[in-house]
Chains A and B, each alone.
Chain A
Amino acid sequence: MSERVGVEVSEEVPPPEWGRRQPLGAVSPWIFVVVVGLLLLGRLVFAPYLTAPALQAWATIFVAICVQALPFLAFGVLLSAAITAFVPASFWTRALPRRPFLAVPVAGAAGAVLPGCECASVPVASGLMARGVTPAAALAFLLASPAINPVVIVATVVAFPGEPMMAVARFGASLTVAVVAGWVWLRFGRAGWLRIPSRPVGHGPKWRSFVEAMRHDFLHAGGFLVVGGATAATMNVVVPRAWLESVAGIPVVSVLVLALLAVILSICSEADAFVAASLTAFSPTAKLAFLVVGPMVDLKLIALQTGTFGRRFAARFIPLTFVLAVAVSMAAGEVLL
């Protein structure tokens, strides 16, 4: 370190920073030092006072959402970085049908093989897009994979003993929504709405660009995950579930209420079936809506998608997915449950 500083000084006198505004990048390590200082100071000074039950419950749920999502996010980011660094673009053109119209359902069905929750699927989908996969197909994958992978389907079967049709309906409805949403995006979506994330291209060996992509994606997606986790924890503590249950008996309203609850609670798709099963007052169709909407639209996903693909995209795609998910759940519930 000291060596390098010495070289720079001898190269240019006066140093190039003179007379310029210090770029933010150079200051940020010092901000970091302040942050760590606050952390140490706060632990001694403030920690004894931060004991209000509501604050603690909020913090527990907030930390729980972040901690629980972390392994999935790390896995998703790793997979996404591996896709960009090690899988040549030509692989995807061979693996997926050339016509986008057919690539959408194939990509949606391929979601069944990625055993993760929704936090993993966002970085993977963005990695696929960066590798030249048709955005609509990557989006179908994004929506399908957290809902139809084997872990989630097994969890659903376990949570609803004696009601195997719930898992079947969940699989069918989720895949349908994913494919239809992909097709709608293919037909009506405009390229300008979707920001395909650019990746820092590392120079040198492949592992270098792999590490670079991972770190970039993790920092980016992780920050937005925290936004989603904080919002979901707030809703969890503030919104009393009691008044949700008061509408359980009303047919269409109860479906909408559980769909909104899925958005607010932001429960990992591998656990949401247990929560749905515990909502005994609601009809099977309403529970199905909870299971179909949750993995596709929730607060932490909204934050992640906005951060990854841009606000113009999120403002269009998220309402589209929500409406489709509710409509398909109602239809599937009518036919299957």
Chain B
Amino acid sequence: MDKQSDPRASGAPDPRASGATPLVELKDIRIAFGGVQAVDGVSLDLYPGEVVGLLGHNGAGKSTLIKILSGAYKADSGEIWINGEKASIHSPRDARRYNIETIYQTLALADNLDAASNLFLGREIVTRMGFVDDAKQEAETRKIMARLNPNFRKLSEPVSALSGGQRQSVAIARAVYFNARILIMDEPTAALGVHETAMVADLIKELKAQGLGIFLISHDTREMMELCDRVSVMKNGQLVGTERVEDVTEDDILSMIIMGKNPKRDAA
């Protein structure tokens, strides 16, 4: 259980120490739905090449917070800063302009369309005549899939015919293809088997090495301790705290989730 002595190969220096600009800064974000304060004054930041985990019970406000960043919801108040500049994000389209890509819990794929159509959904490649260039899209999909998931072959079938892992690689390919700088992953492994989960974990490490900033939401504390650099815990819409994973144990995280406070920090 003791994570302090974790000899992980993440020997990268702490990006925050170098005084670099954060990729994302969420400042005092608030949103209410019909009187319920779903997110209540939460501030978070994310640096390039960093994975920040978001933990908390169902309904703690993790997904809501992240949907504000991805443009699905609009915050009542608060600011979003991207690369040190104030950003205005009112729709998923806006978020994409800031190179923010989201992989949703529900995968957000149109089951009746094939992989290529899903990958390019909303950003189709068109010919000079303005028609969707299916052949070009399929060729591009082949290229990216060869890199992400070499076993992927069912290119012309509806994605409903694919396994959970294959569907997930379509969703991830979408983020990677369009050069995401900021990646939001909402329970990316929830629907996957053991092998596929490992595949996604490898991919997260690779993307991180390429300098992407990743927000990762998960219920699996152990997985989070392994993949994340920092974890932020939310409870009842508020931020309980953000900790470097080296500084806490899994038990500490659990008590933050359950009791809403960090026992060690209180003791100190």
| Binding partners A and B | no
Q: Which residues in A have some Cβ–Cβ distance to B below 8 Å?
A: none
Residues of B within 8 A of A (CB): none
